Structure 1
Amino acid sequence: MNIENIQEGQIFKNYKAICESLGVNTKTGKSKQLQLKDWERYFKYSKDGYNFIINEIYDAPSEKEDLRSRGNNSLEHADKMDDTLLYILSKQDDGELFLTINRLLLEMKMINSNFSFGNRHKKKVSNYLNIEESIIEEFFNTSKRTLKSNIESMLDRLESKSLIYWQKVKTVCIAKSIVSENELGNITVDTDITYDEFDNEHIKLSTTTREILKYRMATDREIELILEVEDEVMQQLNCKNKQELVVKNKWDLFMKETNQILRKKANILFRYDSYKIIRNKNKISKEVEKVDNITSEDIIKSLSMLNLNNDVQNQLLANWKRRNEKANLEISLGLNTKNNVLRSDESFVDKGSILINNFINIKQPNFIDELKYVKANA
């Protein structure tokens, strides 16, 4: 199977077309299902009708495992992740956790406090660390994919044990005006009385409002509106789906246009996906009772939170090194793609290590205030 013939974001019109590109024979029935399952070891794909869309190409294929003996925990630090989230859930006052993936990663000590800001301000990071913006883009894009995969695999593992139920939910940031009220609960009306030169009284009434930002789950109608607006803008940009927006380098324009329309129509400033996690309180309590009455320091050691962060750093760095090795190999075979040229640079691994230390290592101090005063277009 020739993985080098496909690229992330590429769209194949049907099963036969992707087989031709991969250099494999088409199959039917059970053999086809096993073939599709095997592809998932090498790359992540989605389907849109007959179309096959390449979402992600892995740095190295996952191992074929005997799932009966290993319980589907192919990630070395899978158990540490599970234990850490279970402990966090056991300390929740209610039975629900509702937060973004970045917030969950931060709570689990898998990233540090600089990650989210750096991801939103890549040009600032580039100028602050004196590293090319293309490398910054590469770091955050690949790290987010890896971490998201780790998190969702963890959630699936815990759900399979009936410890939690989880789902992705659409979250919106709403701009909302609030009016002042008097003691009787009525809207406060400010009165301005003036007199003209003939001593005629003029009364001008006004109300005082204040604006706030509110973050919450989107309503069904808001989700419907978001879908309608997204479809409208995709058609204007001559794209059939979001993967095509990425391939044609129109994603930023798509987000800008949709946000403008949603602000005008519904006061929705922006939207994003969050995780809603509902726990099985009794079972989780039993799982974590062995560490429930010990000190915070011992809890950290027991759950290996510090070791979990080290494991994440090692995983991302190993992936970074594999990209460098793969790019050098492919260039030696004459495959001088844009990604290969970027990843084959002799300083690629060192720059990746710097970025991992600054945005993943939890021992790294917060330097967001310094980044805020770095010009994006210096």
Structure 2
Amino acid sequence: MNLENLELKTYKNYKELCNVLEWNVSDGNTKKKQLRILSEICNYEKQGNKFIIKEIYDNKEVCMDMRGKQDNNTPKYVESIELNIIGELLTKGTDGKYVVGRGVLLRNVGLTNTNYSYCKRRQDKLASYLEIKKEVVNDYYNCVDSMLVGNLEKALKNLSNRKLIQLNSTLLICKNVITDVTYEHITKIDEFDEEIEIVKPVVQSDVIYTQATDDERKLILATESKVLIEMGFEKLTDVFLRNKLKEYYNKCYKAIRKEIKDINFYFQAYDIIFDFNILANELEKRGYDDWSKELKEQQQNIVNFGAMDRIISNAEKRQEKATPDFGELLKDDKKYIRTQDYYLINYNQLNNSVVNVYAKNIKDKVKKTKKLDVQK
């Protein structure tokens, strides 16, 4: 977003305003958020489709450069990710230890919304729900996931390098545990017309999350490696690109459950050690007295807007580089889809569905969607 282009004048419509501010033309909650930002940086009047800019405020620093321009290839919004992590840890109290899944932390700092991880595991259904080609969805997650995780881990490493936190990677396992067993007594008449009593156990269960032991990690690693070879792949990214991720993990879980009977699923996580006072001092150094709800929302928005614009910017660059010989390509080739007009349109749809923090929860709708091969 380029606020320096904004002038005291009348813009004929929303599209012209977006062109001036270098915004993506949007609708729904995204458009509402853009107009809220506009009201924070200027005094404007709406007449029909026209936007009349009457006054531009001086205090634009908070909203400036929401695109997150690069400094040595590092997005500027990484600083806001750092601040969000600090705030997240401060809300955990003085215990000094926080174990959190990667997907949860991506969402909590503003890089994704609640739909992102769920739809990542159901890419074909997401494509059908949005009525776009599944190859575009595969391309989106393959490119965007590495970018978002890279942004998050850059911020974590920055905090670790400044000795504000101690960072370790870990594996969390979700296990089914029996919490209670009761017995139901049922009286029946058998084939000899005799009354018999049947005792039926009723099991109550729950789930718990635990850090994987060394033995469990070794088992999981050995299984994942074996399944990768059996499926004929050298790297997990190859499985991802071939859209075989679900099949891969189904095979892994089937083998792992033979050894770990009560396992539900497992996922990558961060094991963070911190000192409450050190982080509180760091927050003060950055100009904030406390981690308020308003500050959290502000910083999450900076991260979210910056990430979405960077996703589109990167997609535009990929499209510019995709100049293949059409006679040599099939229509499902990733280079082919990158040359198509729908490529960037679909990327904006995906951004507004799985990254935009103001998006509606679509998980239930995606779950109920039948897989269809969308042709364009």
TM-score (norm 1): 0.69
1:238-317 matched pairs, under 5 angstroms:
238-239=232-233, 242=236, 251-267=245-261, 268-289=263-284, 290-293=287-290, 296-298=293-295, 300-301=297-298, 304-317=299-312
Residue 334 to residue 279, structure 1, CA distance change in 2 (3 Å): farther
Matches of 2:294 and 2:369 in 1, distance apart? 37
* 1:81-122 deviation digits (Å, cap 9, x = unpaired): 111211121121232222222211111122122212221222
Matches of 2:83 and 2:367 in 1, distance apart? 35
Matches of 1:256 and 1:133 in 2, distance apart? 21
Residue 226 to residue 318, structure 1, CA distance change in 2 (3 Å): same
Residue 254 to residue 159, structure 1, CA distance change in 2 (3 Å): same
Which amino acid counterpart does residue 294 of structure 2 have in structure 1? E
Residue 351 to residue 201, structure 1, CA distance change in 2 (3 Å): closer
Residue 258 to residue 356, structure 1, CA distance change in 2 (3 Å): same
Matches of 1:92 and 1:63 in 2, distance apart? 31
Structure 2, unmatched stretches of 5+, are 1-68
SS of match in other structure, 1:265: coil
Which residue does 1:320 correspond to in 2?
Answer: 315
Matches of 1:88 and 1:139 in 2, distance apart? 28
Task: Tell me by how many angstroms 1:150 deviates.
Answer: 0.6
Which residue does 1:132 correspond to in 2?
Answer: 133
Which residue does 1:90 correspond to in 2?
Answer: 90
1:298-377 matched pairs, under 5 angstroms:
298=295, 300-301=297-298, 304-328=299-323, 331=324, 336=329, 338-377=333-372
Which amino acid counterpart does residue 138 of structure 2 have in structure 1? E
After the TM superposition, which of the residue ranges 316-325 and 87-96 deviates more from structure 2?
A: 87-96
Task: Tell me by how many angstroms 1:350 deviates.
Answer: 1.4
Residue in structure 2 matching 1:221, options 190, 215, 222:
215
After the TM superposition, which of the residue ranges 210-219 and 280-289 deviates more from structure 2?
A: 210-219
The answer to whether the 8 Å contact 1:90/1:288 transfers is: no
Residue 240 to residue 353, structure 1, CA distance change in 2 (3 Å): closer
Larger RCO, structures 1/2 (Cα 8 Å, 6+ apart): 2
Residue 122 to residue 158, structure 1, CA distance change in 2 (3 Å): same
Aligned length: 299
SS of match in other structure, 2:259: helix
Which residue does 1:10 correspond to in 2?
Answer: none
After the TM superposition, which of the residue ranges 159-168 and 104-113 deviates more from structure 2?
A: 104-113
Task: Tell me by how many angstroms 1:241 deviates.
Answer: 5.4
* 1:249-305 deviation digits (Å, cap 9, x = unpaired): 75543322111122233132322211111113221110113433485325544xx32
The answer to whether the 8 Å contact 1:162/1:280 transfers is: no
Which amino acid counterpart does residue 258 of structure 2 have in structure 1? K
Task: Tell me by how many angstroms 1:195 deviates.
Answer: 9.4
TM-score (norm 2): 0.69
Structure 1, unmatched stretches of 5+, are 1-61, 66-72, 181-187
